[in-house]
Structure 1
């Protein structure tokens, strides 16, 4: 892939992330629940600066491969909600995001079950915030196979509202990792918020392998992995056996410094949890 092609792929992919990071970091600084170090945030920004071009290039190659093979959606889901009139502009992106989250839910569970070593990078973060919610450099490869491939078999007819769905997903992904005092209140029954997702990152054994969804609580409720936190429940996060990476080399090599999941001593470590 040439530099110009890479840039043309990176800019559209990076823009919603940058908007989400800026907005949620502002909330974290103005309405904090936890206060985090500048050093941790700077490391997160650096990792994202490396990760986003890799993600954009991987996704672009996936789309090119799918186009070359000629794979088309097997089913088009009717998500335009024409009957809702002007409210369709709200309902359609939300419905599209909820459907996408179904595929993310199972991708996420597969990562915990079979690819924990690499996904553990995301769970090692102890100063969890919008810019610190990074993944390992290999994450786009796993997402291409476990998320994009199956999701590509199901299209939708939301058309011009697709960019709105993308913004919703990116903003929500930053929000659920954010240590801000802002949350969704009673709406968390259906939508994941930062309190709900923090349980997934918790160091407490009773929270392990819970709350895999990133947008809606629906799939966790349906498949028996839901845990609704109490109003004041805000557990410490990270991994007991290894700290979050503070430099690029530590970030890249963390999966290889972890023992295989089956060999990790306590069951609590083995199940440690997005």
Structure 2
């Protein structure tokens, strides 16, 4: 097993970039940072590191056990690392997508979206409870294909390092060719937005092509200001509430619901309720699209020339 952790080596760079962004924010956008919010993000990062140390070894041991049933022997070569990195990112896309579409997964992933600010410290808001979701199963096909668990861990580390820099408003757009292939600050701002048009979009880790391939891509638009956070904002900087609030919400919904709906509160999308008292992201988007359609029709009827067909 190689004794190499990209994320640990990158920590000094993370700290330096946060300090640089703070200086930029002080001059250009003071609202980008809020002291209590930043402290909460740092505490999230610390707790996530501890959780990783406790449970990471167990997952690695499981991967090594599964590896004995591998179909092939993938060598430790540069092309194998490149292929592993791409396939690991594809696996990340799907576990991330499940993290937004299945409430059991969302209860863990919501931690990362809980800040109403978007800056490099937000990237540190990593879950403490990821081990409960068993999301590691999305990586097992790589192990069975013959990629060594150590290689997968290194690629996942580089994936996480890459995602750090895209949590910023200091960078507007990257070159067009880069935006077309890679995940960028612009694409990831969309992912962290609560605007109806942006909900549950851009799940990519490194390669935005996955979203374009699977129909979940949405480009950032300049005519609508992004609102960050979650649909129902925390309204608190209490760290423990931030970490566990969705797990508590699931327990409360299960306790209050009829037996035939209890499992749905675990496996259906966040916001789903058996009585329709809350809205899912799909319902929020559909309502927004309906309003947009009505407004467009109203403008067209008031201005036939702009409407096109009416003018003819």
Q: TM-score range by the shorter chain?
A: 0.7 to 0.9
1:270: how far off?
7.4
Unaligned runs of 5+ residues in structure 1 are 1-8, 83-91
2:98 maps to which of 84, 105, 110: 110
Q: How does 1:190-229 map to 2 (within 5 A)?
A: 190-229=181-220
Larger radius of gyration: 2
Stretches of 4+ aligned residues off by more than 6 angstroms? 159-162, 269-272
The answer to whether residue 243 in structure 2 is matched with residue 246 in structure 1 is no
TM-score under structure 1 length normalisation: 0.75
- Quote the Cα distance in structure 2 between the aligned partners of 1:78 and 1:229: 40
Work out the number of aligned pairs and report it: 252
Alignment partner, residue 47 of structure 2: 50
Residues 266 and 102 of structure 1: is their aligned pair in 2 closer, same or farther, counting only changes over 3 Å?
A: same
Decide which of 28, 50, 60 is 2:57's aligned counterpart.
60
Question: Per the alignment, do residues 29 and 145 of structure 1 end up closer, same or farther by CA in structure 2, a change over 3 Å counting?
Answer: same
- Pairing partner for 2:122 from 132, 136, 140: 132
Report how far residue 60 of structure 1 moved.
Answer: 1.0
Does structure 2 retain, via aligned residues, the 8 Å contact 1:24–1:178?
A: no
- How far apart are the structure 1 equivalents of 2:98 and 2:15? 31
| Deviation (angstroms), 1:211 | 0.6
Greater relative contact order, per chain length (Cα 8 Å cut-off, separation 6+): 1
Give the distance between the partners of 2:17 and 2:227, measured in 1 at CA.
Answer: 20
Name the structure 1 match of 2:163: 173
Change (3 A) 1:58 1:223: same
Does the 8 A contact of 2:111 with 2:126 survive in 1? yes
Structure 2: segments with no counterpart, 5+ residues: 254-264, 286-312
For residues 116 and 163 of structure 2, what CA distance do their matches in structure 1 show? Answer: 17
The alignment status of 1:36 with 2:33, answered yes or no, reads yes
RMSD between superposed Cα atoms in Å: 3.6
> What is the match of residue 22 of structure 1?
15
Inter-partner Cα distance in structure 1 for 2:85 and 2:94: 15
